[in-house]
Copies of this chain bind each other. A is one copy, B any other.
Amino acid sequence: MLKECWKNVQDRTPLVHNITNYVTVNDVANVLLACGGSPIMSDEPEDVEDITAICGGLNINIGTLNQSSIQAMFLAGRKANQLGHPVLLDPVGTGASRLRTGTANRLVKEIKLTAIRGNISEIKTIAFGQGTTKGVDADVADAVTEESLPAAVAFAKNLAKRLDTIIVITGAIDIVADAGTAYVIRNGRPEMGRITGTGCQLSGLLTAYLTANPEQLLEAAASAVVLMGVAGEIGWENMLPGDGNSTYRNRIIDAIFNMDAETLENRAKVEQM
Q: How far is the CA of A25 from the CA of B195 in the complex (A)?
A: 13
Q: Mark A183-214, 1 if CB is under 8 A from B, else 0.
A: 00000000000111100000000000000000
Report how many copies the assembly holds. Answer: 3
- Residues of A239-263 at the interface with B, using a CB-CB cut-off of 8 Å, are 242-247, 249-258
CB-CB nearest 3 A-B residue pairs? A244-B257, A244-B254, A50-B97
A34 touches B244 (CB 8 A): yes
Q: Interface of chain A, helix or strand or loop or mixed?
A: helix
Residues of B within 8 A of A42 (CB): 64, 93, 97
A26 touches B93 (CB 8 A): no
Q: Which of B27, B66, B97 contacts A51 (CB 8 A)?
A: B97
B67 touches A46 (CB 8 A): yes
B196 touches A30 (CB 8 A): yes
> What is the chain B residue whose CB lies nearest that of A191?
B257
**Minimum CB–CB distance for A250 against chain B, Å:** 4
**17 new A-B pairs (CB below 8 Å) besides A26-B196, A42-B64, A244-B255?**
A22-B41, A23-B41, A26-B26, A26-B27, A30-B245, A42-B97, A44-B64, A47-B66, A47-B100, A51-B96, A54-B96, A242-B258, A244-B257, A246-B249, A246-B251, A246-B252, A247-B250
